[in-house]
Structure 1
Amino acid sequence: MRISPTKFISLLFFIFSAFYLYTAHQIVVFTFDENAPFNARTFPIYLGWAGILISSLIIILPEKTKIEVNHKHLDYKSIIYLVLISLIYGAVILKIGYFLSTSLFLIASYYFLGERRWLWMFLLSFPFVAVFMFLLHGLLNIYLRDPLLKYLGIIG
């Protein structure tokens, strides 16, 4: 019996989501946030359950069409580059901060995925991250450690 690539990837996603849900329950929250309707643990827990639910449905429900994967046409080099820059991003985010590391990660991702229009790469990274950081830091009062923005006096 041969397992389809879709079912196999869904099984891997199920395992990843279960591990993510387990680690989400390990997130330490302040004692006064423990019974709050939304805290640092809430969204990761819901995200873990959503991943488990979606991957379970894909595994259980029958496939409508069989998908045949031609490995000759897959771009493994881009996948390796994306994994490497993701590891680098995880290693440097605490050192250089959320804003700069996320913006550079997005630019590198766009580049390795084939985008060469630098104006679009810039517009879809730095301003997007700035708006997202404003939403988190300014509106939701979620503090993100960012030495660069602290040095520039933008955040306290």
Structure 2
Amino acid sequence: MLSPIEELKIQAKKHHKAQSKAPDAALSTGHPPRLKDSRLVIARRYGFRHWDHAREVLSGSTCRDYGTFWYSPPCSGLLNLWCASYKEAHQQQKTHGGFILPYKNQYLVVEQHYLELLGLDGRDENWAAIDFDWCSGDIGCRQQLALQRIQRW
């Protein structure tokens, strides 16, 4: 099974290869393109500050900042419950239902339509396995959902 971070590594290698073939590859930075630079580009593309931040979040670690991985501009028009703490998000989910997703150092409780705009299916068995809460539960299920998010980006 491919992990989300392995998928990002593949994308970084492809990016690096493309950058290395560019005729003016060394002009902007003064040195030839490095894989490290491509990893940074890919991490930022997916809403992370840097490569280690992407690894930390996608490994399932509890983080102080999850980045913007679970956000997409088309979702900005939706009304979602924004919570300052995980405890508050969990309580809102118990009351109103929905899915808990992280956003930087906050949490969102979203409905099915939000996931659809991300290209995901809220009926996927992985969501039920983690009680519709990406911030807790089985890491394998969470990583599968993150991988789906990356593949549908």
Does TM, normalized by the shorter one, top 0.5?
no
More strand by share: 2
TM-score, normalization: structure 1?
0.26
Larger radius of gyration: 1
More helix by share: 1
